[in-house]
Structure 1
Amino acid sequence: MDDIGVRTTVPSTLAVLDISSETPARARRIADRFMRGLIPPPARETAAAVELVISELITNAVRHAGGTSCSITLSVRPEGIEVAVTDDSPVPPSERVPDFSGANGGFGWRMVCRLAHSVSVDAGTRGKTIRVLMAR
């Protein structure tokens, strides 16, 4: 474990994050560090897309899951980079009508699904894990 509680086994990183307003920013920093460590590093556009997906999934965990922590796992797969976010809510995400006034969102899940090569949700009574595969 390093100084911010992240365990890295190349090519995979697991971080358990306490829920706070700072959690999405911390998750983006973890993702940035992970991707900069890959050889070869992903294209700048890919790295930005991965960070955007992570930010959205972690933000949703902070806002909607109701728990005290969540986790993020980043892994290299033959077909791309996998992002897995686990939180305490068993309720799967769903598309909402976008709110163009900016008050209620509704853009995130649609964006995640559009950026991803594939998305799966494993929900149980103790929470859920959302797995997103991003093309490298």
Structure 2
Amino acid sequence: MTTVEPPCDLGARLERGPQAAVHARRLVRTFLGGLPRAVPRETTEAATLVVSELVTNVVRHARGRLCSLDLRDMGHGVGISVSDDDPEPPRPRPLDLTGQGGFGWPLVRRLSAELTVLARSDGKTVHAVVSF
């Protein structure tokens, strides 16, 4: 007889502010550390970085007071969804070596096996999958 583990999920609402990315990084490490199987350190680091960049982008660029973070064990990787109240999709910016940014979106794209943006009239959700 084969047993199938139910999917593990975690959802959180985050206030857009300086501590949002810190809280989100802590959540992703706790979530991955609590899965029923060992998650490679490289996966944990990549997923933590993707979450941090996506939440930081919301804090820096999106409208609204809150965003949400949803994590899901997909078996082959961790599903990451970050939603906010701004329908404007992420857009690449020129890299700025003076510290003004432009590195986050290319980094998220490189670390994610899947990356989609679902725009709605009341906001958007960026969904990424980081493979195990």
Give the structure-1-normalised TM-score.
0.90
Helix, strand or coil at the partner of 1:109: helix
Q: Percent identity?
A: 39
Helix, strand or coil at the partner of 1:63: helix
Map of 2:119 onto structure 1: 123
Matches within 5 A, 1:68-79: 68-79=65-76
Counterpart check, 1:57 vs 2:60: no
- Work out the number of aligned pairs and report it: 127
Counterpart check, 1:89 vs 2:86: yes
Counterpart check, 1:106 vs 2:97: no
Counterpart check, 1:38 vs 2:35: yes
Q: CA RMSD in A?
A: 1.2
For structure 1, the 5+ residue unaligned runs are 1-8
Superposed structure 1 runs of 4+ greater than 2 Å apart: none
Do the aligned partners of 2:9 and 2:70 also contact (CA within 8 Å) in 1? yes
1:78 CA drift (Å): 3.0
Give the structure-2-normalised TM-score.
0.92
For structure 2, the 5+ residue unaligned runs are 1-5
Name the CA distance, whole Å, in 2 between partners of 1:41 and 1:65: 35
